[in-house]
């Protein structure tokens, strides 16, 4: 039978060292709040019930953690008296009776499902407490895991540790699974008689053992258990997250020339055989399909690039940009809420917003869709196989039919029918022999000025 599990997510910290006006768990990694990453890992570990222990920004934290595949409740920890005290804030929910409890921290966003599952398996196999530890060359302020003969004997907080204990390099990541049937009784026995005067969750190990139970430590990497206390640590976690995701994408078949210069969002989807050149930034909501090329220095957000399409160098795709197969958006072009049809080209220096561009149409250099009248946005529709000459301003709402040709330098304010040719510019006049006369007049003006 499936065991029931309640995850308890501790997120009541003051975030003092972040020097932030909002709770640190709301700060983003890869464009989404840290806490959402934690919830992701819980869901991937099979957790369906969770309780958030919040302090400041409770409503915002609950909103950031929300997801459809989990039942999530929120409890407030009004005084911050330690991790053991924080878990007890959820006492009423724990009392409903779960087989397993899984305590995680809201500020440990890189944890993967594997050690969470392993800790839960240890509880299923008969342990009362299973903590998640890691080896560290710099164990510093971490709690130390004291292991003897495969059993976890105790967790000693750095401030309470003897010199010999401080020499231990096996550290407590802070996350732990606990037997849900015994948890409340054990949690209520935690005292605050220690160096920090806090209720330490870590005391559960010795308390469980004193009651005749077992504790174990499962291992994870230091990388995935890294916490976030400062903006510098936030940037470091971002770096680790980016490295992890780039690696996964490359292993899935995506080419990156200089992966360390490519920045991905939490939901970036890139198909195999896509080439990403150096210095590309992905905001949220981007999907790139097979054989597309994203050239250097491009910025994409909320965009869908179909197979064989080419973007940049120096292109900006904003939300709602959709490049159909083999479309091309070249240098210094901005595309927003616009459909660029299959094989269509927007090669240089253009703004295409709130627009439809048909298949195989060519948009000349410097074309601008004038989509905004200062109050409202309007749509530009351009058919298939059309040609828009360079430096054309398309004043929306306006439509250009299939196969139509717009002369360069036009300001198009009225619809152009299919196969029509439109000129929207002043006619050129040429006056033969007039240049020397003008030049002489200008020179006389200059001489007159210099006399004064
Ligand atoms: C804790 C562990 C330590 C471990 C370290 C790993 C304890 C006693 N110690 O120490 O062994 O090596 O994590 O990073 O558990 N929180 C609340 N309410 C509270 C106290 C804490 O919600 O009253 C939350 C914090 O916001 C944070 C988490 O619990 O997300 C951990 O608390 P923190 O004070 O950072 O614990 P550490 O001293 O780092
Ligand atoms: Ca901490």
| Residue whose structure tokens are 């949690």 | 187
CATH topology of domain 231-422: UDP N-Acetylglucosamine Acyltransferase; domain 1 (2.160.10)
Q: What's the confidence (pLDDT) of residue 428?
A: 93
Those residues with Cβ within 8 angstroms of residue 384's Cβ, 6 or more apart along the chain or in another chain? 341, 358, 359, 360, 361, 402, 403
What is the whole-number distance in angstroms between the Cα of residue 83 and the centre of ligand 1?
A: 5
Q: What's the confidence (pLDDT) of residue 216?
A: 98
Using a CB cutoff of 5 Å, list residues around ligand 2, an ion. Answer: 227
Compute the distance between CA of residue 70 and CA of residue 266 in angstroms, rounded to an integer: 19
Q: What is the three-class DSSP state of 214?
A: coil
Contact 364, 390 (CB under 8 A): yes
Q: What's the confidence (pLDDT) of residue 398?
A: 98
Question: With 80 as the cut, is the pLDDT of residue 337 above it?
Answer: yes
Which superfamily does CATH assign the domain made up of 5-220 to?
A: Spore Coat Polysaccharide Biosynthesis Protein SpsA; Chain A (3.90.550.10)
Quick one: which ligand is closest to 222's CA?
Answer: 1
- Residue nearest (by alpha carbon) to ligand 1 atom 32: 83
DSSP string over 282-345: E-SS-EE-TT-EE-SS-EESS-EE-TT-EE-SSEEE-TTEEE-TT-EEEETEEEEEEEE-TT-E
Question: With 90 as the cut, is the pLDDT of residue 1 above it?
Answer: no
pLDDT in tens, 6-24: 999 999 988 889 999 999 9
Mean per-residue pLDDT, 331-356: 98
Question: With 90 as the cut, is the pLDDT of residue 263 above it?
Answer: yes
Q: What's the confidence (pLDDT) of residue 157?
A: 96
Same fold, 5-220 and 231-422: no
What is the whole-number distance in angstroms between the Cα of residue 418 and the centre of ligand 1?
A: 68
Percent of all residues in the chain with a pLDDT value above 90, rounded to a whole number: 98
Q: What's the confidence (pLDDT) of residue 256?
A: 98
Q: What's the confidence (pLDDT) of residue 14?
A: 81
- Residue nearest (by alpha carbon) to ligand 1 atom 21: 83
pLDDT in tens, 381-432: 999 999 999 999 999 999 999 999 999 999 999 999 999 999 999 999 999 9
How far is residue 228 from each of residues 23, 222, 321, measured CA to CA in Å? 11, 13, 35
Q: What's the confidence (pLDDT) of residue 411?
A: 98
| Residue whose structure tokens are 């407490």 | 129
Point out the catalytic residue in the list 85, 299, 322, 348.
348
Contact 124, 75 (CB under 8 A): no
Question: With 90 as the cut, is the pLDDT of residue 452 above it?
Answer: no
Kindly list the domain boundaries of the chain, sorted by start residue.
Answer: 5-220, 231-422
Q: What is the three-class DSSP state of 254?
A: coil
DSSP string over 138-183: --TTSPEEEEETTEEEEEE-GGG--HHHHT--EEEEEEEEEETTTH
Return the closest-CA partner of residue 102 out of 40, 183, 190. Answer: 183
pLDDT in tens, 177-222: 999 999 999 999 999 999 999 999 999 999 999 999 999 999 999 9
Task: Tell me if the pTM is above 0.85.
Answer: yes
């Amino acid at each position: 039978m499936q065991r029931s599990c309640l995850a308890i997510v501790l997120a009541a910290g003051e975030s003092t060292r972040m020097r932030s006006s909002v709770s640190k768990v709301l700060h983003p990694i890869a464009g989404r709040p840290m806490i959402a990453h934690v919830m992701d890992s819980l869901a991937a570990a099979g957790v369906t019930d969770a309780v958030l222990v919040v302090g400041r920004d409770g409503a915002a934290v609950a909103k950031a953690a929300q997801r459809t595949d989990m039942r999530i409740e929120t409890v407030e920890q009004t005084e911050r008296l330690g991790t053991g005290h924080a878990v007890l804030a959820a006492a009423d929910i724990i009392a409903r009776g779960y087989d397993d409890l899984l305590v995680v921290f809201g500020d440990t966003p890189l944890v993967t499902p594997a050690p969470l599952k392993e800790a839960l398996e240890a509880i299923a196999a008969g342990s009362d407490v299973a903590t998640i530890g890691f080896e560290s060359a710099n164990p510093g302020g971490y709690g130390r895991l004291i292991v003897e003969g495969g059993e976890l004997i105790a967790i000693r907080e750095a401030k309470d540790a003897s010199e010999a204990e401080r020499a231990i390099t096996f550290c407590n990541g802070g996350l732990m699974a606990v037997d849900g049937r015994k948890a409340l009784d054990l949690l209520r026995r935690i005292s605050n008689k220690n160096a920090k005067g806090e209720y330490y969750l870590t005391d559960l190990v010795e308390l469980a053992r004193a009651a005749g139970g077992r504790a174990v430590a499962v291992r994870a990497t230091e990388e995935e258990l890294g916490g976030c206390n400062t903006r510098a640590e936030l940037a470091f976690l971002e770096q680790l997250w980016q490295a992890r995701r780039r690696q996964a994408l490359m292993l899935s078949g995506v080419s990156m020339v200089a992966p360390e210069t490519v920045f991905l969002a939490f939901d970036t989807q890139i198909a195999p055989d896509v080439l990403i050149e150096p210095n590309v930034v992905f905001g949220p909501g981007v999907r790139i399909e097979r054989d597309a090329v994203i050239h250097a220095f491009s910025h994409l957000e909320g965009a869908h690039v179909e197979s064989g399409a080419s973007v940049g160098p120096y292109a900006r795709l904003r939300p709602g940009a959709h490049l159909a197969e083999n479309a091309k958006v070249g240098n210094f072009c901005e595309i927003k809420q616009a459909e660029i049809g299959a094989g269509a080209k927007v090669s240089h220096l253009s703004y295409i917003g709130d627009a439809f561009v048909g298949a195989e149409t060519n948009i000349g250099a410097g074309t601008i869709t004038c989509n905004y009248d200062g109050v409202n946005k309007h749509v530009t529709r351009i058919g298939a196989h059309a040609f828009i000459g360079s430096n054309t301003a398309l004043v929306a709402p306006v439509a250009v039919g299939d196969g139509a040709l717009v002369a360069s330098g036009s300001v198009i304010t009225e619809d152009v029918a299919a196969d029509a040719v439109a000129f929207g510019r002043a006619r050129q006049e040429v006056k033969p022999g007039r240049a020397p006369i003008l030049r002489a007049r200008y020179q006389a003006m200059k001489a007159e000025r210099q006399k004064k």
